[in-house]
Structure 1
């Protein structure tokens, strides 16, 4: 299984082979285009000169990490806040999973536990956790019993709702269309 976002091939390769890069892409996937969020782990590795692990990032000098995030082009629209969030998530990985991000999902007994584990990460509300569960299931073969139910509508096989459904430029267009419709409906409901 692979991720096929319309981003630099080396960035897709990193997301495919590195559980930490994949998780960090999801951490950064807020208030920026998904291509930016999921490219940023590759840009961070390039700036560091190597692929970091969760222990390194958890213990990295916070100001130095902010500087890496803020260097143009910034890794996120909010480099200071997101550098801190990355460190918080990495610290949880160190504290609970011995620094191994793949244990977050490989040791989950079922979809409900997977959703709970992901939802306990800093910055992961229910929706973001469901999207990540769907991403793991649809693109990476992480399919514990009940994963689709845990992912909610994001787990639907024929959905075009999130990064979990992006396989090419056409599916990206359909996901963006869905998001625009959902945003318009929410705005209309507030009326």
Structure 2
């Protein structure tokens, strides 16, 4: 069980071993291609010259962090807002979880509690929290009791509905097709 995205091998490796990198990638996974969001933690590491921890990012000068996010190519299409969001989440990780983002999910009593903890993070609505918990369960072996139920359709075995289901090029195509179908259905519902 590992996450394998069509990004640089070093970026995938960072996501495999760093809960903070994975959390930052998930924060950034909106309004940009998933490859950009999940490559961004590695790009951030390269720009800083080392792998940051949650405390460093929480304490970073906000204007300087925006500059780091905005360097070309920008880490996100909204570098100012996303730098601030990453910093907010890192402050929560430091204040509530002693700087260890994995404690958000490893110390949860069950899947519902893990989902609730993730949902408390800025930028994590119900759907994004469910996708992240499904990603943790399917690709990282995080399996508190009831995690599949807590994640709804995203935890379903054999689904191809989110980043949690991407293991190769074929699954990436299937996830993209599903997202396109959902967008088309949403658009049709508005008309």
- Which segments of 5 or more consecutive residues in structure 2 lack a partner in the other structure? none
1:129 is matched with 129
TM superposition score normalised by structure 2: 0.99
After TM superposition, where is structure 1 displaced by more than 6 Å over at least 4 residues in a row?
Answer: none
1:105 is matched with 105
Count residues in correspondence. 191
Q: How does 1:24-35 map to 2 (within 5 A)?
A: 24-35=24-35
Q: How does 1:42-61 map to 2 (within 5 A)?
A: 42-61=42-61
**Secondary structure, counterpart of 1:151 in structure 2:** helix
Cα deviation, 1:39-59, whole Å, max 9, x if unaligned, reads 000000000000000000000
- Which segments of 5 or more consecutive residues in structure 1 lack a partner in the other structure? none
Cα deviation, 1:3-50, whole Å, max 9, x if unaligned, reads 100000000000000000000000000000111000000000000000
1:83 and 2:47 are equivalent in the alignment: no
2:12 is matched with 12
TM superposition score normalised by structure 1: 0.99
Cα deviation, 1:97-129, whole Å, max 9, x if unaligned, reads 011001001101100000000000001000000
**Secondary structure, counterpart of 1:157 in structure 2:** coil
Question: What is the RMSD computed on CA atoms of the aligned residues?
Answer: 0.5
1:165 and 2:145 are equivalent in the alignment: no
Cα deviation, 1:70-122, whole Å, max 9, x if unaligned, reads 00000000000000000000000011101100100110110000000000000
1:73 is matched with 73
- Structure 2: distance between partners of 1:175 and 1:3: 14
